[in-house]
Amino acid sequence: MNVFVNAALLGFIPRGVKKSLMALAPVRRVRAAVMKDLGLPEDILTFVNYPTRFDDRDTQRALKGSSIACPPLKDYAWRLWDYWERHLDPALKIDHSLKGTVAGKVVLVTGGSSGIGLAAACKLAEAKKQILAFAKNGGRADAQVHAYAVDISDDAPTQAFIGWLNDTLGGVDFLINSAGRSIRRAIETSYDRFHDFERTMQLNCFGCIRVTMGVLPGMVAKKKGHVVNISSIGVLTNAPRFSAYVASKAALDAWTRCASSEFADVGVTFTTINMPLVRTPMIAPTKIYANVPTLSPEEAADMIAQACVEKPVRIATRLGVFGEVPHAFVPRVAQIVSNTTFRMFPDSSAASGDKSGKPKLSAEAVAMQQMMRGIHF
């Protein structure tokens, strides 16, 4: 896609007004952020409407009467651009690999016992050699992953370990909040199970915030640091039967947005990953997931690596973003669609108390499963 911008269109704005606007710090920061996201140097703005003339009259006179002709610029311009990208682009001197990002840094991963946290810790260890991981059940996930048995839903041991970490290693450079639990149970079968909401919120939201607030002072002091929070696609789609889980992740998302606004000017950045369904032990009790699209833990770890390298504000699949649109523009329709799928798929055997362990699916539910298999883009 090509977009041609004629800077003369902005000529109606007096020069003094433009100069005054650019003197405002927020305006300069917004411009710098936009140019950074586009991958363009700010100097390029000087040449948006730069008067350029390619004069080949002498060349044409020299070639007159010969079989040699000067080709149109569009036929060879790409070669000039290709040469610049391969040899002259200043970005070539920057190591954009995971190793170049985390080497020599202190990286802390929560939820390192299994699933996404374990895969992320091992992925990062390939680049950094040594990774710290909070694993509630303890154990060593990998020879290069130092696992510590810390339950982040418990304040005292968490604060004690973070204090030791800050004193011994000088704080954390990258924090990956992967610890979490999921409960798939309809609200109508949860009237006497309020503790489900309490324990889910305690770990998924309060636990992650507890660890983050423990390492933030050190990041602020160094004026650098990055926090990656593992959220869920369910926050975008408001998935039925996940009220406890989605509520806890939505609360973490909201807190992250507030925190990113407060720390944007001190070098501390945040990324929220609205992770799609991942094939981990957490989803194993729900048997119907055997026929729905899932990512592998390694694929989820790749998304976390991307978050560490590129530091975007949010990472979400196109399917997740598409699912968010109806709730924003046609909420009533979104409710009807969600309610239809809610009635179509039953509670898991564990949630409903069914001892048989076999989910009872309607023909429509089976058809939808088959239609959606492999779709997690």
With the CA atoms of 243, 246, 247 and 250 taken in that order, what torsion angle do they form, in degrees rounded to the nearest 10? Answer: -160
Q: What are the tokens at 331?
A: 């909420």
- Asked if 157 and 163 touch (Cβ cutoff 8 Å), the reply is no
First CA to last CA across the chain, in angstroms? 22
3-class SS of residue 307: helix
Q: Coil, helix or strand for 170?
A: coil
Q: How many CA atoms lie within 13 A of 165 on its CB side?
A: 30
144 close to 118: Cβ distance less than 8 angstroms: no
CB 336 within 8 A of CB 345: no
Residues 288 and 106: beta-carbon distance below 8 Å = no
CB-based contacts of 70: which residues, under 8 Å, 6+ apart? 56, 59, 60, 63
Q: Which one from 50, 76, 191, 245 is the annotated catalytic residue?
A: 245
Nearest alpha carbon to residue 126 among 315, 301, 254, 257:
301
Residue 236 structure tokens: 């975008």
CA distance 241 to 367: 20
Please indicate whether residue 245 is annotated as part of the active site: yes
Cα–Cα–Cα angle for 269, 198, 151, rounded to 5 degrees: 60
CA 257 remoteness from chain centre: 13
For residues 145 and 125, the answer to whether their CB atoms sit within 8 Å is yes
CA-to-CA distance for 145 and 322, rounded, in angstroms? 37
Active site residues: 245
